[in-house]
């Protein structure tokens, strides 16, 4: 038995029957808690509990005034005789009572007193003793009618000891173990209350990673397991590295202001810019150094791959993860900035079938057992392929990444050699949307603390 | 770029019999995926490398080959057009090509497709008519001679398509829809085309004349493309080879495309090596024919395929013909040790320490609004062309983003312990770690304990001194070369109704 239950049972053995409000005073615990304890004990047939409505009466300010200064009709008698129209406020009510009681009457347009002494009325006696009156007593209603008292509705519990309760031996059960009990060995004599695993307890809020970070770390592990080396780059990039080095013509629509964020200032070009310029002039007719020096917020992580490729010697396997930026109107499908991952394999002996092999391995490690590739187009790859993953639970294909082999027009100016470079990339936020079933991509950046605290782990 | 293809029209143009489902699947595996479809309209995505498929005629031509019905180089009837041209100098659009198509069975639906093709080409390879523009005319209305020359706008006078009366060049630029859209491409002069009676047929790159416009009853078509760069031959080719797919013959005009195929050697070993296939010469040839290349010992590349730069482009067509789904995937037997970036590992260690101290990691935008940063006081790094001011400035501190997050989460149970690790721009990129504690008793000592713990884990001896910082409260702000921490200025925290304590550390100094 819980210590509080034990206290209540001991008191009930004395009283047999009691109101929770009275028990509350003697035990120093709230009425509601008494009710809850008694309810739990009633489940064990030790007590019965019945909820009852109660009514308490309280003096109003008018009631207090009567107790202090006497009945208003008695006060009025002292002012008589007087013309009725000179009476004000409550004196008019007092007049009615005085007339009704036969203490005064109206004669020749004036109110005059007709008794010498006034008796002590029943109402006065009742009011003095209103607390002793039972709730049902009609005398209280009279007092209420004169607005001397007001009622307050409430409830209480009537608690009775049952027969079983009368004979039950009360033994106290310990809820919280204390260091003292452990030290002095008292724990051996104590009974400990059993706890229900179904009782709610206060929640713990753990510190957690952001879901996007969890996905990023997972992808990093996958690439490292596959033997790739991690690289990084700057968020502010020259259009040269973001576009020109990737064989995107200088008048390509993707480079226009409505798709790409431009920044003030310009960047120096590397020495190999000359080879890139040559290939542009040959293929697209023109190339401007000034255009290539402009600064943008990188639009894809392939710009970082291009940097890395220009420093690499085959064979090399490289990956990078970071934020990219698009001058999009932000809506449920589009963000102005999001994370991308890009991986490349720079190797004399690789081919398109190997790309498919890497993609299968990569996506399998991310939890997608079945993938499919479809022909696609990117300015810097040929062959190009869209990667779809099979969603078992939805029974559909879902486009999750782009891939291909870098064009010789990209590889040769950057590396000096014509060696295949397999490449693929994907957006991290798309995986997060898929995993968490989000309908609106902005949810990932709304940072709803409740969601971040309670969301499932990413596996 | 999405084109709308009427299914009935496509089915009637196809020589091969195929169901709607077969067509959709074939287009997906050809590299022109179907975005949406019903029994009336297919919405097909055409990538910039296959602008020859921006019309039902172009799609039918490719699918006939891909589905194995009409393979190989498209057989066109080539005839002399009998049209003479006089090409004068044009300073605004120096490049021009012509061609014609004769005896085309034409319809109302075909007219719509032609208009769509012309418009999509204007937008894509035409770069909104700046680079190239296209005109198509009814040959029977213009006679046997066409003149191209530059004329002052005030001397130009004709009745444009869709207008009620004759207009001058200026009036066209000032009061017609197309004129207003593209006036920026012209100065005080415009290139014009005139017919044998010296009537103005068109003012490039704006509009054509009403009298010679193409209608559903047109049989013979005259096509021109004007441009600011070379390549107008290809643009004309895209229109005429699409039209002739319906029937009729191509009529050559000078200057203009000759429709002769380009030639390339078939490099069997290269194609097999780069694709990872092992195809015989015959199989390679069959794959090429399926993609509507010709073969006579050399690969013959149809003139509408100007996406073919070199042999890697041939390899892609081989792979598509072979079927992308047939590549089973194979890993090369090479070994390479993976290696992570040290800074990424350290970042993650810091995140672990922060979550260990019960902080929740946040990710906020790097692009933000200037108002959110105004309190930081230092100059901001703005993009030159934002679509919305909400995403127009690169953040200089992580704290405003975190304040913003807390301000929309006041209904979540306190305490709120949040942090972010990320880049800021001042204007150089810097790596920062920021955290905020928000609850009824958040104070200097609590945030100091967090910072002390972090700093100790990296064996750093920091000297903190009282200082001033716009985000923090006077007398409760600690500064050092490693960053700042303290109680957040009540001017900020009053909006939250609970005290905030925060820090921002320069990770460059720590890692």
CATH topology of domain A211-454: BirA Bifunctional Protein; domain 2 (3.30.930)
> Could you give the 3-state DSSP secondary structure of residue B371?
helix
What angle, rounded to 10 degrees, do the helices at A302-311 and A408-415 form?
50
Return the pLDDT at B376.
Answer: 57
B455-477 average pLDDT score: 91
Calpha distance B439→B489 (Å, rounded)? 15
Set of chain A residues whose Cβ sits within 8 Å of the Cβ of B291: none
Which strand ranges, in their side-by-side order, compose the sheet holding A17-19? A17-19, A149-161, A47-59
What is the share, in percent, of chain B residues with pLDDT greater than 70?
Answer: 98
pLDDT of residue B379 exceeding 70, the answer is no
Give yes or no: residues B460 and B401 share one domain: yes
Provide the number of structural domains found in chain B.
Answer: 4
Is-cis flag, bond preceding B415, omega within 30? yes
Q: Is the ipTM of this complex over 0.90?
A: yes
Q: Do A353 and B316 touch (CB under 8 A)?
A: no
Domain ranges of chain A: 3-59+133-192, 72-120, 211-454
φ, ψ of residue A345 to 5 degrees: the values are -125, 115
Per residue in B33-71, pLDDT (tens digit) is 999 998 899 999 999 999 999 999 999 999 999 999 899
Of residues A325, A345, A343, the one with CA closest to residue A335: A325
- My answer on whether B368 and B439 are in the same domain is yes
Which residues is A321 bridged to in the sheet? A341
Instruction: Tell me how far apart the alpha carbons of residues B153 and B156 are, in angstroms, rounded to a whole number.
Output: 5
Q: Among B24, B276, B390, which would you mutate to test the A interface (most chain A Cβ atoms within 10 Å of its Cβ)?
A: B276
CA distance A420 to chain B (A): 8
User: Which residue range(s) make up the domain with B500?
Assistant: 342-510
Name which of B264, B304, B270, B266 is nearest B282 in CA terms.
B266
Predicted local confidence at residue B46, as pLDDT: 95
Residues B129, B225 within the same domain: yes
Partner-chain contact B315 A225, CB within 8 Å: no
CA-atom Rg of chain B in angstroms: 33
Does B223 share its domain with B298? Answer: no
Over the stretch B115-142, which tens digit does the pLDDT of each residue have?
A: 999 999 999 999 999 999 999 999 999 9
Could you give the CA distance from residue A67 to residue A101 in angstroms, rounded to a whole number? 19
Task: Give me the residue from A225, A257, A449 closest to B412, CB to CB.
Answer: A449
| Tokens 């015989």, located at residue | B280
CATH code for the domain of B169: 3.50.40.10
Asked if B50 and B15 sit in the same domain, the reply is: yes
Distance of CA A35 to the CA centre of its chain: 33
What is the Cα–Cα distance from A379 to B455, expressed in whole angstroms?
47
Looking at residue A106, what is its pLDDT? 85
Q: How far is it, in rounded angstroms, from Cα A155 to Cα B420?
A: 53
pLDDT tens by residue, B354-373: 999 999 999 999 998 877 65
Q: Which of B115, B303, B149 is nearest to B226 (CA)?
A: B149
Cα B415 vs. chain centroid, distance in angstroms? 46
Is residue B336 in some structural domain?
no
Say if residue A459's pLDDT is above 80.
Answer: no
Single out the residue in B28, B45, B66 at which a domain terminates: B66
CATH of domain A3-59+133-192: 1.10.10
- Provide the CATH number for the domain around residue B286: 3.30.56.10
B496/B350 same-domain check: yes
B382 and B450 share a domain?
yes
Give the number of C-alpha atoms closer than 13 A to the C-alpha of residue B445, restricted to the C-beta side.
1
| CB atoms B391 and A336 under 8 Å | yes
Q: Which of A32, A3, A38 is nearest to A17 (CA)?
A: A38
Q: Quote the distance between the C-alpha of residue B366 and its chain's center.
A: 24
CB A5 within 8 A of CB A13: no
Q: Rounded mean pLDDT of chain B? A: 94
Contact A330, A336 (CB under 8 A): yes
Indicate whether B12 and B135 sit together in one domain.
no
User: Any bridge partners for residue B466, and if so which?
Assistant: B478
Which of the residues A202, A207, A368 would you substitute to probe the B interface, choosing the one with the greatest number of B C-beta atoms within 10 Å? A207
**Residue with the larger pLDDT of the pair B167 and B511:** B167
From the candidates B387, B414, B415, which should be mutated to test the interface with A, based on the most A CB atoms within 10 A? B387
> B-chain residues within 8 Å CB-CB of A283?
309
Q: For residue B367, list chain A residues with Cβ-Cβ distance below 8 A.
A: 261, 297, 325, 336-337
> Mean of the pLDDT values across residues A153-179?
87
Q: Taking residues B207-222, report their average pLDDT.
A: 97
What tens digit of pLDDT does each residue of A252-305 get? 888 887 789 999 999 999 999 999 999 999 999 889 999 999 999 999 999 999
Instruction: Assign 3-state DSSP to chain A and report helix, strand, coil percentages, each to 5.
Output: 40, 25, 35
Q: Are residues B14 and B135 in the same domain?
A: no
Task: Identify which of A359, A454, A449 has the alpha carbon closest to the alpha carbon of residue A404.
Answer: A359
Same domain? For B174 and B50 the reply is no
pLDDT digits over A293-349, tens only?
A: 999 999 999 999 999 999 999 999 999 999 999 998 899 999 999 999 999 999 999
Instruction: Using the predicted structure, report yes or no on whether residue B281 has a pLDDT greater than 60.
Output: yes
The answer on B368 and B428 residing in a single domain is yes
Nearest chain A residue to B335 by CA distance is A227
On the question of pLDDT at B419 being above 70, the answer is yes
Pairwise CA distance, residues A59 & A115, whole Å: 30
């Amino acid at each position: 038995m819980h210590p509080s239950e034990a206290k209540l049972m001991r008191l009930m053995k004395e009283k047999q029957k009691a109101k929770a409000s009275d028990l509350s005073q003697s035990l120093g615990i709230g009425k509601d808690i008494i009710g809850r304890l008694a309810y739990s004990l009633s489940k064990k047939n030790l007590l019965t509990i019945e909820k009852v409505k109660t009514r308490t009466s309280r003096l109003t300010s008018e009631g207090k005034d009567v107790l202090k200064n006497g009945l208003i009709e008695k006060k009025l008698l002292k002012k008589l005789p007087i013309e009725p129209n000179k009476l004000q406020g409550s004196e008019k009510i007092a007049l009615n009572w005085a007339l009704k009681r036969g203490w005064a009457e109206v004669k020749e347009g004036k109110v005059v007193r007709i008794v010498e002494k006034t008796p002590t009325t029943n109402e006065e006696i009742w009011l003095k003793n209103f607390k002793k009156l039972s709730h049902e007593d009609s005398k209280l209603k009279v007092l209420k009618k004169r607005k001397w008292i007001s009622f307050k509705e409430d409830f209480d519990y009537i608690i009775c000891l049952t027969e079983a309760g009368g004979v039950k031996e009360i033994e106290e059960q310990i809820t919280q173990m204390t260091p003292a009990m452990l030290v002095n060995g008292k724990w051996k004599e104590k009974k400990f209350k059993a706890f229900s695993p179904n009782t709610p307890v206060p929640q713990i809020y753990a510190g957690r990673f952001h879901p996007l970070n969890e996905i990023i770390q997972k992808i990093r592990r996958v690439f490292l397991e596959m033997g790739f080396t991690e690289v990084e780059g700057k968020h502010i990039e020259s259009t040269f590295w973001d576009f020109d080095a990737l064989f995107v013509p200088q008048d390509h629509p993707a480079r226009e202001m409505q798709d790409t964020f431009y920044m003030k200032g310009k960047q120096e070009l590397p020495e190999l810019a000359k080879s890139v310029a040559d290939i542009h002039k040959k293929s697209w007719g023109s190339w401007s150094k000034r255009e290539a020096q402009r600064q943008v917020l990188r639009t894809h992580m392939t710009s970082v791959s291009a940097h890395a490729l220009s420093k690499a010697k085959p064979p090399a396997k490289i990956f990078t993860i970071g934020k990219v930026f698009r001058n999009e109107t932000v809506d449920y499908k589009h963000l102005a900035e999001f994370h991308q991952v890009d991986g490349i394999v720079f190797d004399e002996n690789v081919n398109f079938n190997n790309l498919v092999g890497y993609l299968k391995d990569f996506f399998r490690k991310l939890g997608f057992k079945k993938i499919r590739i479809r022909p696609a187009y990117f300015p810097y790859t040929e062959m190009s392929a869209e990667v779809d993953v099979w969603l078992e639970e939805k029974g559909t294909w879902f486009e999750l990444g782009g891939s291909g082999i870098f064009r010789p027009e990209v590889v040769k100016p950057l590396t000096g050699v014509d060696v295949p470079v397999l490449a693929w990339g994907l957006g991290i936020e798309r995986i997060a949307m898929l995993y968490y079933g989000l309908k609106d991509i902005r949810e990932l950046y709304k940072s709803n603390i409740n969601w971040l605290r309670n969301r499932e782990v990413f596996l | 770029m999405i084109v709308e293809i009427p299914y009935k029209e496509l089915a009637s143009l196809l020589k091969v019999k195929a169901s709607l489902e077969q067509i959709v699947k074939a287009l997906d595996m050809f590299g022109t995926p179907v975005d949406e479809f019903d029994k009336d309209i297919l919405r097909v995505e055409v990538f910039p490398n296959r602008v020859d498929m921006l019309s039902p005629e172009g799609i039918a031509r490719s699918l006939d080959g891909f589905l194995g019905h009409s393979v190989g180089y498209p057989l066109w009837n080539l005839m002399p057009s009998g049209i003479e041209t006089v090409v004068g100098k044009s300073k605004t659009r120096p490049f021009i090509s012509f061609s014609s198509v004769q005896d085309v069975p034409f319809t109302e639906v075909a007219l719509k497709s032609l208009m769509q093709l012309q418009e999509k080409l204007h937008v894509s390879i035409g770069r909104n008519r700046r680079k190239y523009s296209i005109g198509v005319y009814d040959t029977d209305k213009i006679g046997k001679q066409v003149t191209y020359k530059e004329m002052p706008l005030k001397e130009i006078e004709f009745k444009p398509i869709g207008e009620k009366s004759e207009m001058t060049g200026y009036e066209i630029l000032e009061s017609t829809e197309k004129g207003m859209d593209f006036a920026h491409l012209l100065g005080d002069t415009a290139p014009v085309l005139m017919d044998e009676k010296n009537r103005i047929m068109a003012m490039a790159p704006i509009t054509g004349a009403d009298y010679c416009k193409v209608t559903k009853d047109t049989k013979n078509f005259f096509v021109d493309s004007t441009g600011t760069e070379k390549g107008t031959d290809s643009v004309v080719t895209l229109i005429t080879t699409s039209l002739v797919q319906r029937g009729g013959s191509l009529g050559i005009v000078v200057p203009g495309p000759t429709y002769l195929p380009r030639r390339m050697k078939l490099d069997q070993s290269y194609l097999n090596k780069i694709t990872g296939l092992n195809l015989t010469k015959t199989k390679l040839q069959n794959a090429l024919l399926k993609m509507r290349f010709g073969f006579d010992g050399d690969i013959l590349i149809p003139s509408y395929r100007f996406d073919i730069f070199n042999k890697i482009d041939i390899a892609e067509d081989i792979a598509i013909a072979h079927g992308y789904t047939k590549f089973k995937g194979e890993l090369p037997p090479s070994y390479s040790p993976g290696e992570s970036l040290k800074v990424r590992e350290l970042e993650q260690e810091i995140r672990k320490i922060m979550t260990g101290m019960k902080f929740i990691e946040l990710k906020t935008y790097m692009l933000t609004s200037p108002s959110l940063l105004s309190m930081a006081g230092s100059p901001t790094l703005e993009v030159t062309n934002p679509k919305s001011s909400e995403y127009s400035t690169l953040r200089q501190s992580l704290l405003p983003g975190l304040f913003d997050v807390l301000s929309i989460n006041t209904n979540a149970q306190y305490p709120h312990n949040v942090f972010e690790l990320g880049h800021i721009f001042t204007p150089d990129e810097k790596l920062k770690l920021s955290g905020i504690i928000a609850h009824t008793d958040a104070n200097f000592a609590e945030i100091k304990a967090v910072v002390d713990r972090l700093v100790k884990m990296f064996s750093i001896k920091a000297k903190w001194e009282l200082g001033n910082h716009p985000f923090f409260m006077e007398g409760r702000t600690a500064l050092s070369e490693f960053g700042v921490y303290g109680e957040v200025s009540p001017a900020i925290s009053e909006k939250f109704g609970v005290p905030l304590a925060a820090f921002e550390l320069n990770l460059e100094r720590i890692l």
